[in-house]
């Protein structure tokens, strides 16, 4: 099933022809091998008593070679209507699936009864490989750690004129990334601070099983999402998810909860029923809050020397009460099934 649960209330909102909020802009993308992102999962590992809008999606896709506007080859993932079905049948009608459109790609339809179709002469059509599942999760993306400075502002960068870099400049996203040392390596830390979509293939998702088993779920802690190169000499790119040791800011449960409650359903994004989404970043508000905090800290430093020492508080008095989820929590509560959320 496309959604990791049965569908309810079909229908969708489509925002076509709005270039600034296209879905690809909402997906976490690591462009260079060696980069990594610090994230926290909003979607749980598997289905459960959780709001439908944060439930992860698992859909079958057809792999097809594509070519970008500048001639660069890439793998295109085309939603396979024949395989993606809920309890009521097709999620979307096969005639609306890209690979089913006559004239745009080979005909007949790419898949029939779960198997690759063949042309009238018996040869496989353009979609002759097995369909594969891809998984979509909502995540809270804190930082991406890059190997080089922001190409949006670095005119010497090879990516300075890349479409995504030009788009960011036009949108005013021209911040210099902080230079940080992690171990014996130097990274440039981009502050993202907003929900995004993490798309992964089955091998990457399977790596989450260990953590889901160990922690009960994956939404109660932060992870680092790494882009790596296979060492076999075949230059394969793979992705790894590991528990994170990076410090992240506290965004506030109410602020994060308000954003999570408005996230659209991933099954409708996967099937193309929602083509764009607006998600505001926490970054600008946090920067102003940081400035105010630093200012208050500076003003209070001179007073500290004149104050009496504060008596130590017994450990028992400082312990926090355990966080519990109300038994009557409903889908309207985006934190009802997200484990310990007091550290947002």
Beta strands in the chain (DSSP E): 36-41, 57-67, 73-79, 85-86, 89-90, 111-112, 115-116, 132-146, 178-182, 185-201, 222-229, 237-243
CA–CA gap between residue 109 and residue 117 (Å, rounded):
7
- Give the pLDDT of residue 179: 93
Q: Which whole number is the average pLDDT over 51-66?
A: 86
Q: pTM of the entire structure?
A: 0.74
Q: Does the pLDDT value for residue 33 go beyond 60?
A: yes
Instruction: Provide the pLDDT confidence category of residue 111 given band limits of 50, 70 and 90.
Output: low
Length of the chain: 344
Q: Does the pLDDT value for residue 44 go beyond 90?
A: yes
The answer to whether 195 and 138 are in contact (CB under 8 A) is yes
pLDDT of 227-283, one tens digit each? 998 766 566 888 999 999 999 998 888 889 989 999 999 999 998 888 888 888 886
The helix (run of H) or strand (run of E) holding residue 206 is helix 202-206
Q: Does the pLDDT value for residue 309 go beyond 80?
A: no
How many Cα atoms sit within 13 Å of 50 on the Cβ side? 22
- Give the pLDDT of residue 72: 78
Structure token digits, residue 77: 């993932």
Residues 8-20 as b or e (16 or more Cβ within 10 Å = b): eeeebeeeeeeee
pLDDT of 7-26, one tens digit each? 333 333 333 344 568 888 89
Which DSSP symbol is given to 78? E
- Within 10 angstroms of residue 312's Cβ, the number of other Cβ atoms is 7
173: left (phi over 0), alpha (psi -120 to 50) or beta: beta
Q: Does the pLDDT value for residue 327 go beyond 60?
A: no
Q: Does the pLDDT value for residue 319 go beyond 50?
A: no
Instruction: Provide the pLDDT confidence category of residue 313 given band limits of 50, 70 and 90.
Output: very low
The answer to whether 130 and 51 are in contact (CB under 8 A) is no
Q: Does the pLDDT value for residue 303 go beyond 70?
A: no
Instruction: Provide the pLDDT confidence category of residue 36 given band limits of 50, 70 and 90.
Output: very high
CA 157 centroid distance within chain: 26
Instruction: Provide the pLDDT confidence category of residue 34 given band limits of 50, 70 and 90.
Output: very high
CA–CA gap between residue 199 and residue 134 (Å, rounded):
7
CA distances from 24 to 27, 48, 327 (A): 5, 28, 37
Residue 242's SS3 state is strand
CA–CA gap between residue 20 and residue 277 (Å, rounded):
9
**pLDDT cut 90: percent of the chain above it:** 27
Of the candidates 142, 136, 182, the one whose C-alpha atom is nearest the C-alpha of residue 39 is 142
pLDDT of 149-183, one tens digit each? 988 888 888 888 888 788 888 888 788 899 999 99
The helix (run of H) or strand (run of E) holding residue 302 is helix 283-304
Domain segments of the chain as ranges:
23-57+136-302
Of the candidates 192, 187, 191, the one whose C-alpha atom is nearest the C-alpha of residue 149 is 187
Residues linked to residue 102 through DSSP beta bridges, in sequence order: 105
From 169-178, 188-197, 247-256, 334-343, the region with the lowest mean pLDDT: 334-343
Q: Does the pLDDT value for residue 68 go beyond 80?
A: no
- Give the pLDDT of residue 197: 97
- Give the pLDDT of residue 289: 52
- Give the pLDDT of residue 140: 96
pLDDT of 126-153, one tens digit each? 445 567 899 999 999 999 999 999 888 8
CA 130 centroid distance within chain: 25
Burial class (CB in 10 A: 0-12, 13-18, 19+), 325: middle
Q: Which residue has the higher pLDDT, 186 or 313?
A: 186
Q: Which residue has the higher pLDDT, 77 or 40?
A: 40
Of the candidates 274, 276, 270, 277, the one whose C-alpha atom is nearest the C-alpha of residue 81 is 270
Q: Which residue has the higher pLDDT, 212 or 11?
A: 212
């Amino acid at each position: 099933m496309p959604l990791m649960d049965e569908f309810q209330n079909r229908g969708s909102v489509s925002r076509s022809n709005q270039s600034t909020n296209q879905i690809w802009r909402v997906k976490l993308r690591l462009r260079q091998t060696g980069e990594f992102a610090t994230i926290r999962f909003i979607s749980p590992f598997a289905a459960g008593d959780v709001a439908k809008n944060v439930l992860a999606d698992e859909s079958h896709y057809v792999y097809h070679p594509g070519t970008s506007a500048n001639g660069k080859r890439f793998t295109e993932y085309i939603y396979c209507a024949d395989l993606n079905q809920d309890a009521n049948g097709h999620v979307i009608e096969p005639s609306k699936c890209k690979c089913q459109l006559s004239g745009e790609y080979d005909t007949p339809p790419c898949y029939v009864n779960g198997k690759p179709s063949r042309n009238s002469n018996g040869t496989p059509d353009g979609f002759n490989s097995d369909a594969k599942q891809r998984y979509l999760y909502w995540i809270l993306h804190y930082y991406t750690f890059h190997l080089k400075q922001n190409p949006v502002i670095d005119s010497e960068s090879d990516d300075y004129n890349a479409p995504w870099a030009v788009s960011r400049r036009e949108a005013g996203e021209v911040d210099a990334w902080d230079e940080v040392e992690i171990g014996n390596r130097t990274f440039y830390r981009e502050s993202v601070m907003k929900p995004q979509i993490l798309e992964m293939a089955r091998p990457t998702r399977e790596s989450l099983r260990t953590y889901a088993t160990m922690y009960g779920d994956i939404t109660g802690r932060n992870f680092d999402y790494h882009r790596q190169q296979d060492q076999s000499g075949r230059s394969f790119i793979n992705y790894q998810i590991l528990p994170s040791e990076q410090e992240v800011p506290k965004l506030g449960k109410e602020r994060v909860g308000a954003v999570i409650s408005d996230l659209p359903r991933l099954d409708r994004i996967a099937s193309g029923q929602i083509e764009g989404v607006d998600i505001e970043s926490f970054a600008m508000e946090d920067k102003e809050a940081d400035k105010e905090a630093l200012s208050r800290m500076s003003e209070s430093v001179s007073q500290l020397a004149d104050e009496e020492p504060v008596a130590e508080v017994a450990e028992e008095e400082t312990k926090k009460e355990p966080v519990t989820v109300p038994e009557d929590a409903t889908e309207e509560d985006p934190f009802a099934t997200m484990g310990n959320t007091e550290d947002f």
